[in-house]
Amino acid sequence: TGATGVQFTTFPALWTATSAASFSTNPVAATREYEVCFKCHSSFAFGGTPPTAPNLGDSAMQQTDVAMEFNPNNRSMHPVVSPLGSAAGTLAPKSLPATYLLAPWNVNVGTQTMTCTDCHNTDSASPAAQGPHGSAVRFLLAGTNKAWPYTVAGATSGTLFQMSNSGTGFGTSNGLFCRNCHSNPGTGTGNPNTAHGQFNGQHSGNAIGTCVRCHIRIPHGGKVSRLMVTSPNAPARYTVSGQTLNFTRFVKNSTYSGSAWFGTTCSRHSGGGTGGEAW
């Protein structure tokens, strides 16, 4: 209460770097949590050169501009700045069907917003003081499952997670982070989230099923719908070194089952077609 923050004054175009023109000139009384975070985690603080964490005891990874990632003009983003059902930009609305989500996110879908501390928090419920800094878990991830996109919550490298619920540590701190909010991948074409587990496990439990071969490594927001990652132009910070991406283009429809993926690493999605989105 009483903290200052940085507010958007103008939303940049699709996946465009933020600048001084994007924000209020000086920090003002924050009315939303993300405005406090923008003071340090956007170009308001570091300009066009994000800092890199030191290697000793830390991730050695470059920070990213979260204001650019959560920009409502992007084709995909988590609903931190604006609800997805009314979001501006290309191919709106961006919200998922309710059946793809777990409580409390499966009601009033498209009208909700979330806070940074829905996903980032301390690693313990005690002491009572809580906040997004100070955690034994990499990337300060919150929730029951704390591994994204790796199998070990405290590591920045390791075995990439598969889609299936039977993956290492599901339901524990080493479980797949996405499953705190997103529904059971399941199997079979009748499952509500069938794209993640259909066709007898083709998308789960094998090499092409790792999260970061289809989705960006930092899931705040992206240039392509549904947080998809495409080759060859996706920025290195949003992919995982050594991983061959599955797709070159993505065609979004209202549901996953009506969408189309085009690439070279999967026989089912390597066909022709035109149009679509790409990095």
Kindly report, residue by residue over 104-155, the tens digit of the pLDDT: 999 998 899 999 999 999 887 777 677 888 888 888 888 888 887 665 666 6
Q: Evaluate if residue 199 carries a pLDDT over 50.
A: no
Q: Coil, strand or helix: which one is 33?
A: helix
pLDDT of residue 51: 92
More confident residue, 60 or 250: 250
Q: Evaluate if residue 55 carries a pLDDT over 50.
A: yes
More confident residue, 32 or 97: 32
CA Rg value for the chain: 18
Question: 89-100: b or e for each residue (b if 16 or more CB lie within 10 Å)?
Answer: bbebebbbeeeb
Give the span between the Cα atoms of 271 and 102, in whole angstroms.
34
Kind of pairing, strands 28-29 and 4-5? Answer: antiparallel
Tell me what the mean pLDDT of segment 28-54 comes to.
Answer: 93
pLDDT of residue 267: 65
For residue 153, CA distances in Å to 56, 142, 147 come to 18, 10, 4
Least Cα distance to 78 among 200, 196, 177, 190 occurs for 177
Q: Evaluate if residue 82 carries a pLDDT over 60.
A: yes
Mean pLDDT of the chain: 80
Which tokens hold the place of 19? 């600048």
pLDDT of residue 198: 52
Token pair 């997670």 is at which residue?
161
Which tokens hold the place of 265? 């690493």
More confident residue, 135 or 274: 135
